[in-house]
Amino acid sequence: MDKVKKVKVTLIPGDGIGPEVSLATQRCIEAAGVTINWEVVHAGTEIMEKKGTPLPQDVIDSVRRNKIAIKGPVTTPIGSGFRSVNVALRKELDLFACLRPCKLYPGVKSIDEKIDLVIVRENSEDLYAGIEFEAKSKEADTLVRVIRELDPKARFNLHPAISIKPISEAATTRIVRFAFETAIQMKRKKVTAVHKANIMKFTDGLFLKTAREVAKEYEGRILFEDRIVDNMCMQLVQRPAEYDVLVLPNLYGDIISDLCAGLIGGLGVAPGANIGDTIALFEATHGSAPKYKGMNKANPTAMILSGMLMLRHIGETKAADRLENAVAKVLKEGRSVTYDLKKDRHDPAAVGTSQMADAIIKAMQ
């Protein structure tokens, strides 16, 4: 097979099962016909012991330099001072959009027969902005007093912990426009804004109002609608085929993307990407599962499909199609798959991480 072109990509293998699924992904990407110049850098618990931080500066520098990165799952060390390595990367690199396609492939167990959704989650604001005040702290008590001065009707129990939920027109405009542009690029028909504006009239209300304004720019090209988040959860379970691209604030996006992952077989088959104006970082949505480290047991599908998204992002459409079709073939056949993809999780015919990658590579030949 002819190699297409050489691209420099930052690879963060991660820890736990990360190195295993990352290696499987490297092999599958290269077998798809793209030669990658991998710049390997490390984040997580193991590098913490050597450098005193789970996210060394050389990781950030590498991603900034190469503009394209793919990351295995990373454990955030307890007591490291980091809320999350993943969140820190998104903030540091201004990766404002989390893209999570949720597509059901034949052969994977599901409550439905056809699911093909795209979740677009805003990454920078909402309750995940990290503006919190500890219960009984001077700052929390001061904030309570200030809020009571601003709103005499406000009611608090004694010494509450408080989180602040910022939603801005600027960030909402950016993420909703990204959702519409993604819909156009992926040849989708509809964007649905998900919110709780019936209760949070100023924060979610601003999100909805802004989404409606942005939607006017796409009239005649992409349909637009909105749904209240709790109703959206029910709709996704009952009638997922009615939805296409969902755009959500940070917290709802996190919850809904996991719900949708459950609809397509679980986090083991759910790819993801975090995208900014100039930088894109691709990653599986599952965790590092340290208890399975080195056991050649983890399902590599989510990471491999994240690699497929990366190939599409850099314009390697044919290679991406080749890789996705091979993954789909292996999943449909159901023979060379890991234990979690078998009808019986104790099926002795289940294969390991590397063997599933072997089958995907063979399917591309």
Average pLDDT, the chain: 94
Tens-digit pLDDT profile for residues 160-219: 999 999 999 999 999 999 999 999 999 999 999 999 999 999 999 999 999 999 999 999
Within 157-276, strands assigned E span 162-163, 190-195, 223-228, 245-248, 271-275
Work out whether strand 245-248 and strand 190-195 pair parallel, antiparallel, or are unpaired. parallel
Distance CA 55, CA 47 (A): 8
Q: Are 293 and 16 in contact (CB under 8 A)?
A: yes
* Active site positions, annotated: 128, 196, 230, 254
CA distance 220 to 189: 10
Distance between CA atoms of 225 and 232, rounded to whole angstroms?
A: 12
Check whether 1 has a pLDDT greater than 80.
no
283: confidence class by pLDDT, cuts 50, 70, 90: very high
Strand-pairing partners, residue 6, are 35
Residues 300-319: tens digit of each pLDDT: 999 999 999 999 999 999 99
- Over pLDDT 70: what percentage of the chain? 97
For residue range 33-62, list pLDDT tens digits in order. 999 999 999 998 888 888 888 999 999 999
Residue 11 DSSP label? E
Contacts of 277 (CB under 8 A, 6+ apart): 94
**Whether the Cβ atoms of residue 119 and residue 281 lie closer than 8 Å to each other:** no
Q: How far apart are CA 288 and CA 14, in angstroms?
A: 8
Task: Identify any residues that bridge with 68 across adjacent strands, giving them in sequence order.
Answer: 280
Q: How confident is the model at residue 3 (pLDDT cuts 50, 70, 90)?
A: very low
pLDDT given at position 4: 46
Q: Which residues contact 134 (CB under 8 A, 6 or more apart)?
A: 140, 161
Question: Exposed e or buried b for every residue in 222-246, given b needs 16+ CB within 10 A?
Answer: bbbebbbbeebbebbeeebeebbbb
Q: pLDDT digits over 79-124, tens only?
A: 555 668 888 899 999 999 999 999 999 999 988 889 999 999 999 9
- Give the pLDDT confidence score for residue 99 in this predicted structure: 98
How much of the chain exceeds pLDDT 90, in percent?
88
